[in-house]
Amino acid sequence: MQPAGREHWKSSLGFVLAAAGSAVGLGNIWRFPTLTGQNGGGGFVLLYVSIVLLVGLPLMYVELSMGRAAQLGPVGAFRTLAPHRAWRALGYLFVLTGIVILSYYGVVAGWTLKYFWMAVVDGFTKEASGPAFGAFTKNGTLQIAFLAAFLGLTTGIVFFGVKGGIERMSTVLMPVLFVLLLLLIVYALTLPTALDGLCFYLIPDPASISGKTFVFAAGQAFFSLSLGMGAMLTYGSYLSPGSNLMRSGLVVVLCDTAVAIMAGLLIFPVLGGAPDKSGPGLVFVVLTDLFATLPAGRFVGALFFLLLAIAALTSTISLMEVAASYWIDERGWSRKKAVGVTAGLVLLLGVPSALSLGAVGGLGNVLSIGGKALGFLDLMDFFFGNVSLTLGGFLLVLFALLAWKRARFEAELYAGSGTPAVVRKGLFFLLAVLAPLCLGGILGYMLITGQTLG
Ligand code: TRP
């Protein structure tokens, strides 16, 4: 059922900012520098950028064209673009993936509020940053409270719809994010540790590139671009037929990559080299430690966590919109009911993740994959943030070329843009050959070794 008056973005800039807002998130500012630090610096960055351009961009085009052609979210798009019912199951997997990712992403997003608050109200103390972080993640009540607070913010925006909520907030928040990031980089580059950090970050060391680096870089690329679960497809479904997809898609991908690279330009000069702690520790312990000692550190820290909170918020709204649009498009629900039910489901699913970081011991060690003990949050990230997105990306490519059919996909993608034949041929090669090889290979590797990418 297609609602009579589907909402559309007010302007193409609004769409680009909203889609870039979805892409730019904790993935760029927290996960990308962490992975770069763990995987040897410059070589990883080089690999990452190549994968973004060669596989991520084509996949972005698939999602955006499917959405715009169908004018419906993933379930509706699979239903209307190709007749076979089996594809619809994939649509449901996408909606579920969005809900699950939001449920644990919201936990970490909640931390940004807490740390912003800490910078403004209490200030950072160097000796306390590690233990304080541990005490915070162990506190189940606080974990759930901050998750709920972040979901509350998200729900409040998605409730006001595509134009009045998502687009309006993104057009304000994204420029703020960009300016904050620039200011912080300028500050970071004046620190005595800047040069060492930049060398580690920007000079590729060929010895650090391996099959594992490749899988990590690729997983990070899809996650960071919000690909593989219909988030970009859903945003594309609010585009009017006349828009230039080739251009907007490219701008979104470039913005996301630029912000990731810029986050590294901020974090590595502050660290002065490779981080010695991994995962959550990087931003919430190591950086907090430094903010406690740096000149104007408390002020800079407050700006930094505000930046992180904004980045996370424009991402969580896109995750929520996928599920909301499902209830609205396919079930005919009102937006109010759709966001309310989605928020409830997400909170429910988020509780075990929130409690898996020390509050409830059993949830901290649920399963072991490839010799690694995984807690509930890690497990959700592995299956939904990694496996499901890669599988989704792989099947989206197959769907566009084989079920929806190449001719129809290309007609939709190139409408409104004068793309030269050689670009079209190149893009087809990337989608038909490189993307399936790359995505299939990663999926196999991930399932066999159980590598989680966080
Ligand atoms: N891309 C966001 C980030 O980098 C997270 C995100 C938002 C996402 N929507 C998504 C990830 C959809 C995968 C799929 O933080």
pLDDT in tens, 29-67: 989 998 898 888 888 999 999 999 999 999 999 999 999
Reported as type and span, the H/E element at residue 367 is: strand 367-369
pLDDT in tens, 66-115: 999 999 999 999 999 987 888 999 999 999 999 999 999 999 999 999 99
Selected residue with higher pLDDT from 224 and 129 = 224
Predicted confidence (pLDDT) at residue 149 exceeds the cutoff of 60: yes
Secondary structure of 300-358 in HEC code, one letter for each residue: HHHHHHHHHHHHHHHHHHHHHHHHHHHHHHHHCCCHHHHHHHHHHHHHHHHHHHHHHHC
Residue 57: its pLDDT value, please?
A: 98
Domain 12-449 in CATH 3.40.390? The answer is no
In the chain, pLDDT over 70 holds for what percent of residues?
96
Taking CA atoms only, the protein residue closest to ligand 1 atom 14 is 226
Averaged pLDDT, 283-306:
87
Weakest mean pLDDT among 1-10, 284-293, 297-306 = 1-10
CA of 23 to the centre of ligand 1 (A): 6
Predicted confidence (pLDDT) at residue 416 exceeds the cutoff of 50: yes
Averaged pLDDT, 240-245:
90
Task: Work out the number of other CB atoms within 10 angstroms of the CB of residue 436.
Answer: 17
Q: Where are the domains of the chain?
A: 12-449
Residue 124: its pLDDT value, please?
A: 84
Compute the distance between CA of residue 232 and CA of residue 155 in angstroms, rounded to an integer.
19
Taking CA atoms only, the protein residue closest to ligand 1 atom 9 is 226
CA of 430 to the centre of ligand 1 (A): 23
Q: Taking all residues of the chain, what is their mean pLDDT, rounded to a whole number?
A: 91
- How many alpha carbons lie under 13 Å from residue 223 in its C-beta half-sphere? 31
Residues 6+ apart with CB under 8 A from 205: 40, 41, 42, 43
CA of 346 to the centre of ligand 1 (A): 15
Taking alpha carbons only, the member of 325, 321, 330, 322 closest to residue 79 is 330
Averaged pLDDT, 177-192:
93
Residue 331: its pLDDT value, please?
A: 95
> Which residue of 102, 104, 177, 318 sits with most ligand 1 atoms within 8 Å of its CB, as the best mutation to test the pocket?
318
Residue 452: its pLDDT value, please?
A: 52
Residue 4: its pLDDT value, please?
A: 54
Taking alpha carbons only, the member of 388, 357, 349, 354 closest to residue 374 is 357
Ligand 1 nearest atom to the CA of residue 385, by list position: 13
Residues 6+ apart with CB under 8 A from 61: 245, 246, 249, 413, 427
What pTM, to 2 d.p., does this model score? 0.94
> Which residue of 111, 315, 317, 389 sits with most ligand 1 atoms within 8 Å of its CB, as the best mutation to test the pocket?
315
Predicted confidence (pLDDT) at residue 369 exceeds the cutoff of 70: no
CA of 342 to the centre of ligand 1 (A): 17
Residue 254: its pLDDT value, please?
A: 98
Q: Can you tell me which residue has the tokens 């700006």? A: 303
Residue 126: its pLDDT value, please?
A: 72
CA of 52 to the centre of ligand 1 (A): 14
In the chain, pLDDT over 90 holds for what percent of residues?
72
Residue 2: its pLDDT value, please?
A: 46
Predicted confidence (pLDDT) at residue 279 exceeds the cutoff of 70: no
CA of 225 to the centre of ligand 1 (A): 6
Predicted confidence (pLDDT) at residue 337 exceeds the cutoff of 60: yes
> Which residue of 52, 226, 382 sits with most ligand 1 atoms within 8 Å of its CB, as the best mutation to test the pocket?
226
Pocket of ligand 1 (CB under 6 A): 22-23, 25-28, 101, 223-224, 226, 229, 231, 315, 318-319, 389
> Which residue of 223, 229, 314, 453 sits with most ligand 1 atoms within 8 Å of its CB, as the best mutation to test the pocket?
223
Residues 6+ apart with CB under 8 A from 191: 269, 270, 272, 294
Predicted confidence (pLDDT) at residue 309 exceeds the cutoff of 90: yes
Taking CA atoms only, the protein residue closest to ligand 1 atom 6 is 226
Residues 6+ apart with CB under 8 A from 312: 25, 26, 105, 108, 109, 112, 150
DSSP 152-205: HHHHHHHHTHIIIIIIHHHHHHHHHHHHHHHHHHHHHHTSTTHHHHHHHHHS--
Averaged pLDDT, 157-178:
95
CA of 234 to the centre of ligand 1 (A): 13
CA of 162 to the centre of ligand 1 (A): 18
Averaged pLDDT, 164-188:
94
Taking CA atoms only, the protein residue closest to ligand 1 atom 11 is 226
> Which residue of 224, 253, 386, 390 sits with most ligand 1 atoms within 8 Å of its CB, as the best mutation to test the pocket?
224
The structure tokens listed for 323 are 């599920």
Averaged pLDDT, 130-159:
95
